Structure 1
Amino acid sequence: MSRIVRAAAIQISPVLGDDGLGTARKVCQAIRDAAEKGVKLAVFPETFIPYYPYFSFIQPAFRFGGEHLALYERAVVIPGPVTDMVAEAARATGMVVVLGVNERDVGTLYNTQIIFDATGEILLKRRKITPTYHERMVWGQGDGAGLKVVDTAVGRVGALACWEHYNPLARYALMTQHEEIHCAQFPGSLVGQIFADQMSVTIRHHALESGCFVVNATGWLTEEQIKEVARDPALEGPLRGGCFTAIVSPEGKFLGDPLTEGEGMVIADLDFALITKRKRMMDSVGHYARPELLSLLHNKQPARTVHYVGEHEQEGAVAFVKNGATA
């Protein structure tokens, strides 16, 4: 039997310069607004709380130390006040929420995606495995434990951030777990039209190859925010364009018109019968796969800086004994 889920890809601008709670409040209001439209899955942009580090794209590293430190002060601790606010909004509306944040873990920032279930429970906290280009001066690296599809109130949901979609093995790791809805997040307001054009191809390709729905959200900077971030008219150009908020079916079709400017939502009903229709023709991890020829090695062990040998498992450590068995 067919199952239908109403989803929203939300294009929205952050609140710059505050403690990060202003952006979190905007997220919660958007969740409530989407709920009034019958939405059961909402996807927000990459590292939306408190904001994407646009400064790192237009300034050399030796100049953005102050802005980087400010991002540390405004970053999200998980769990913490921000995740508590969003969890309550998800629970109150019965909505699954996929949110991008700058996560602070003591001395390191991460590009982190959080999946909240309709109960408000955090089902997944994953970190971008390889920050892209300028981002490597801002965030640490994630690990394979985050390449995980989770069962939610709306189905099996997976997520990747931005150019992780250009890592075919990362995408395949999620495909092997039979994701039904893939949540993609990009920063938006970056690079220009070519970024939006590439995004259009990227999310359609994953939908076709995985045989799943793709819900993609990008951020948006107003003209005033562009001027605030750039501080120099010559640097404003790279902060325009690059927005492409959209929802794609397993057949590679856009469900509604993509949103490329301004704040708003792309809302669509996802008919899960289309997943079976697509996979009957081409199931890339099933009847179309050739595992005896090609296979993926996926290390799902969380990255740790210390392994305590010969001691029982303690907080933040894995226990080992000399014969290799777990103590």
Structure 2
Amino acid sequence: MTEKRTVRVAAVQIAPDLDSADGTVERVCRAIADAAAQGAALVVFPETFVPYYPYFSFVRPPVLAGADHLRLYERAVVVPGPVTEAVAAAARANGVVVVLGVNERDHGSLYNTQLVFDADGRLVLKRRKITPTYHERMIWGQGDGSGLTVVDTAVGRVGALACWEHYNPLARYALMAQHEEIHVAQFPGSLVGQIFADQIEVTIRHHALESGCFVVNATGWLTDEQIQSITPDTGLQKALRGGCMTAIVSPEGNHVVPPLTSGEGILVADLDMGLITKRKRMMDSVGHYARPELLSLTLDNRPAAPMTTTATPVTAIVPSPKAEADHDDAQLLQLAR
């Protein structure tokens, strides 16, 4: 009889520090320790949580967003760098797998990036959101297929997507075809209102059912003071409330524990990994329920690069003895003149 395997996971819904990237990282490290103290082996944070999600881009026109955009550049995360070192140390010290969303800076561009740290602190996946959504396209560049990868970790096979990437069925299928056991979803939270929370719930529950895996989803949270600091317009402030759905969903599409839809907190749940087989016994979307001879996916997982170089072999030219003698004669003749 197969031994029952249980994995305790944590989904974190807290507010970032809008004034300090270091302050947000400190909150991340404290939450990792708090979750680990509750027995969690996997800790998940919201989308681009460090230094913060660019909420300003949703409520301000581009002509007024320049200063905020530049500030985000200044506070963004370089990978590898001090932020990844701090989070890796926290993961290693607590023996937990950590999935963190960051604004990554790569020279002159920012990216919506998901980082997966294994329990020994190794960064085992860095992936970029393949298509930023709506207002986000003014902030981030596009990722590539190299990030559509499921990685082996101390808690099992982990895949990740950010926000509306979950509306790209082929991106989800790419992870399903790699047999993810725990899918990590990340959304910004404190955005759009209740309709956003409802959409998140439908989306993650459907992916759990379709893929036959667990989904651990984290959304962010903004305090009233933070919302007021982003915009003084009370009408626009409504667009920065609601939209929170931190949740943990089973392969059968059920909430393992009640979701967290407001305020700060850490959602903790035990995952019975045997439910994956129970679900896939009846419906395995990439196995006995698939028809690859009719429908299949081709993934270009090569990293995109703005330039590639082709090395041209250089052949050494060795002068013949006669050429050397002619050269010497020419030099003597020149001196004689």
TM-score range, shorter chain: over 0.9
Q: Deviations over 1:225-248 (max 9, x none)?
A: 010111322210100000000000
* Partner Cα separation in structure 1 for residue 160 and residue 232 of structure 2: 33
* Partner Cα separation in structure 1 for residue 258 and residue 235 of structure 2: 32
* Partner Cα separation in structure 1 for residue 85 and residue 232 of structure 2: 34
Q: Deviations over 1:273-321 (max 9, x none)?
A: 0000000000000000000100001000000111112359xxxxxxxxx
Q: CA deviation at 1:199?
A: 0.5
Equivalent residue number for residue 7 of structure 1:
9
Indicate the RMSD between aligned Cα atoms, in angstroms.
0.8
Q: Deviations over 1:28-48 (max 9, x none)?
A: 000000011000000000000
How do 1:1-327 residues align onto structure 2 when only pairs under 5 Å count? 1-18=3-20, 20-311=21-312
Amino acid at match of 1:190: L
* Partner Cα separation in structure 1 for residue 299 and residue 46 of structure 2: 26
TM-score scaled by structure 1? Answer: 0.94
* Partner Cα separation in structure 2 for residue 232 and residue 33 of structure 1: 36
Query: Secondary structure in 2 aligned to 1:103?
Result: strand
* Partner Cα separation in structure 1 for residue 155 and residue 192 of structure 2: 33
* Partner Cα separation in structure 2 for residue 298 and residue 218 of structure 1: 28
Amino acid at match of 2:14: I
Q: CA deviation at 1:266?
A: 1.2
Q: Deviations over 1:118-137 (max 9, x none)?
A: 00000000000000000000
Query: Secondary structure in 1 aligned to 2:281?
Result: helix
Q: Which runs of 5+ in 1 are unaligned?
A: 313-327
* Partner Cα separation in structure 1 for residue 204 and residue 234 of structure 2: 32
* Partner Cα separation in structure 1 for residue 35 and residue 11 of structure 2: 10
Query: Secondary structure in 1 aligned to 2:226?
Result: helix
* Partner Cα separation in structure 1 for residue 82 and residue 310 of structure 2: 36
Query: Secondary structure in 2 aligned to 1:97?
Result: strand
Amino acid at match of 1:265: I
Q: CA deviation at 1:265?
A: 1.2
Equivalent residue number for residue 321 of structure 1:
none
* Partner Cα separation in structure 2 for residue 187 and residue 80 of structure 1: 23
Q: Which aligned runs of 4 or more in structure 1 are off by greater than 4 angstroms? A: none
Amino acid at match of 2:255: F
Q: CA deviation at 1:17?
A: 1.5
* Partner Cα separation in structure 1 for residue 45 and residue 193 of structure 2: 20
Equivalent residue number for residue 323 of structure 1:
none
The percent identity for this pair of structures is 71
Equivalent residue number for residue 320 of structure 1:
none
Larger-Rg structure: 2
Amino acid at match of 2:310: V
Query: Secondary structure in 2 aligned to 1:281?
Result: coil
Amino acid at match of 2:264: E
Q: Which runs of 5+ in 2 are unaligned?
A: 314-337
Q: CA deviation at 1:3?
A: 0.9
Amino acid at match of 1:26: R
* Partner Cα separation in structure 2 for residue 88 and residue 231 of structure 1: 39
Query: Secondary structure in 2 aligned to 1:113?
Result: strand
* Partner Cα separation in structure 1 for residue 153 and residue 173 of structure 2: 20
* Partner Cα separation in structure 1 for residue 232 and residue 102 of structure 2: 24
Q: CA deviation at 1:2?
A: 1.9
* Partner Cα separation in structure 1 for residue 26 and residue 248 of structure 2: 24
